[in-house]
């Protein structure tokens, strides 16, 4: 009889122990979901990270800041308990915006808004996550700014890292690529991923991604737990007039064959149509403006060489003034080879030319010996 009682007590003990083990497993999964059965946890990440615990009806039970920035935002919002999860989500995004966290850009774009369903969380309704995403979009629209919105749900965790019955803590590589492209504002169809590596950076699990799109080169690091972009940068390709492509970060001497700058201006661009061999040094070749003429006014005065009189800028072809009086008119009938220099040639003047002075010329006196 005593033996039976001992056996019964042992059986009960084993049953209780088994129940305790099963209960503990259930509690572990519920803890991973952040709440009791039928409820769950949603994590909002911008730079602040905030856990939103909700019940089976989608009403908020708890708010917890996962980092200092998140704790600061939660501290400004005391009356959240019992509100619908989507309403609280919109309020939190507004508070994050007011604190200026969206002004802290990554690679020239506002930070993504990441909504992450903690593994093991239940959904109060089938369209719960869709409703959360739509409410987030409305919040961004009402605040009049732009931000990428990323949703991480159960299907986005990598099962390779699910060990010993626990949920995987890491998102998949494909999800990390999607998040990086969303932050960069690049379409998946335009992107070519060249490097994809999973690594730990000071204890933080990180996807290190390198990809190109549109001639530009990108380097992004994505947190494998939260889906936040930790770092992002890119080099922009610039197309020169010659058609060669050169990245904006290329240093001098890196082979910029399209930038020898033989043209005007020394502005780093070869101005093939801007050699400026003409007048004015204004960057335009003035082929009709060599100014070989008078006036140095930038115009070649082919009809203004001024070979004539007066130096008045007009060639006076009919005003060489080879005649008398130097009055600017050639007096072809006024050579005045006669007497008095009166402008008239005196061919018949009786003015004592000595030709008929009574023999003083000795042309007929016999002194010339013409008839001796």
Domain parsing of the chain, residue ranges: 32-156, 170-235
Mean per-residue pLDDT, 223-245: 80
- Considering 3-7, 35-39, 100-104, the range whose residues carry the highest mean pLDDT is 100-104
Average pLDDT, the chain: 74
Q: Residue 195's beta-bridge partner residues?
A: 210
Say which range, 23-37, 95-109, 269-283, has the weakest mean pLDDT: 23-37
Say what percent of the chain tops pLDDT 70.
Answer: 53
Of the ranges 3-17, 71-85, 253-267, which one carries the lowest mean pLDDT score? 3-17
**Residue 91: what pLDDT?**
97
Q: Which tops the pLDDT comparison, 307 or 218?
A: 218
Q: CA-to-CA distance for 346 and 349, rounded, in angstroms?
A: 5
Report pLDDT digits (tens) over 177-223.
Answer: 999 999 999 999 999 999 999 999 999 999 999 999 999 999 999 99
Q: Contact at 8 Å (CB) between 149 and 112? A: yes
CA distances from 323 to 85, 293, 320, 347 (A): 113, 28, 9, 18
270: number of Cβ within 10 Å: 17
Q: What is the pLDDT of residues 101-127, one digit of tens each?
A: 999 899 999 999 999 999 999 999 999
| Burial profile 307-327: b = 16 or more Cβ within 10 angstroms, e = fewer | ebbeeeebbbeeeebebbeee
Top mean-pLDDT range of 32-46, 223-237, 308-322, 356-370:
223-237
State residue 111's pLDDT score. Answer: 95
| Average pLDDT of the residues in 284-288 | 55
The confidence band for 324, taking pLDDT boundaries of 50, 70 and 90, is low
- Taking alpha carbons only, the member of 96, 84, 170 closest to residue 128 is 84
Which of 296, 318, 297, 299 is closest to 307 using CA atoms?
318
Q: Is the pLDDT of residue 266 over 70?
A: no
pLDDT score at 27: 34
CATH code that applies to domain 170-235: 3.10.450.40
Q: How confident is the model at residue 315, as a pLDDT?
A: 53
What's the whole-model pTM score? 0.57
Residue 247 has pLDDT above 80, yes or no: no
Task: Work out the average pLDDT over 59-76.
Answer: 96
Residues above pLDDT 90, as percent of the chain = 52
C-alpha 70/C-alpha 17 separation (Å) is: 40
């Amino acid at each position: 009889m005593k033996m039976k009682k001992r056996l019964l007590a042992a059986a009960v003990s084993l049953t209780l122990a088994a129940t305790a083990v099963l209960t503990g497993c259930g509690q572990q999964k519920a803890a991973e979901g952040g709440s009791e059965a039928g409820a769950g946890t949603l994590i909002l990440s911008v730079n602040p990270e905030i856990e939103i615990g909700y019940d089976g009806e989608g009403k908020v039970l708890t708010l917890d800041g996962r980092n200092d920035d998140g704790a600061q935002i939660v501290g400004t919002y005391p009356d959240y308990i019992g509100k619908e999860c989507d309403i609280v989500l919109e309020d939190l995004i507004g508070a994050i915006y007011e604190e200026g966290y969206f002004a802290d850009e990554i690679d020239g774009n506002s930070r993504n808004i990441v909504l992450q369903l903690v593994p093991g969380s239940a959904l109060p309704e089938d369209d719960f996550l869709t409703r959360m995403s739509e409410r987030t979009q409305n919040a961004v629209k009402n605040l009049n700014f732009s931000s990428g919105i990323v949703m991480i749900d159960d299907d986005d965790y990598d099962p390779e890292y699910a060990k010993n019955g626990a949920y995987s803590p890491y998102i998949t590589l494909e999800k990390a690529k999607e998040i990086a492209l969303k932050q960069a504002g690049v379409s998946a169809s335009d992107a070519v991923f060249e490097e994809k590596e999973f690594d730990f950076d000071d204890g933080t699990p990180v996807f290190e991604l390198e990809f190109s799109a549109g001639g530009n080169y990108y380097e992004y690091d994505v947190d494998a737990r939260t889906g936040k972009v930790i770092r992002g940068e890119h080099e922009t390709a610039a197309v020169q007039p010659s058609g060669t492509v050169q990245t904006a970060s290329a240093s001098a001497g890196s082979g910029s064959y399209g930038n020898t700058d033989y043209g005007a201006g020394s502005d780093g661009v070869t101005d093939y149509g801007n050699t400026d061999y003409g007048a004015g040094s204004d960057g335009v070749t003035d082929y009709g403006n060599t100014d070989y003429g008078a006036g140095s006014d930038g115009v070649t005065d082919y009809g203004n060489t001024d070979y004539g009189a007066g130096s008045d800028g007009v060639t006076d072809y009919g005003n060489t003034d080879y005649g008398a009086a130097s009055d600017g008119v050639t007096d072809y009938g006024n050579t005045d080879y006669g007497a008095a220099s009166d402008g008239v040639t005196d061919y018949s003047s009786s003015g004592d030319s000595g030709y008929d002075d009574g023999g003083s010329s000795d042309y007929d006196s016999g002194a010339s010996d013409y008839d001796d």
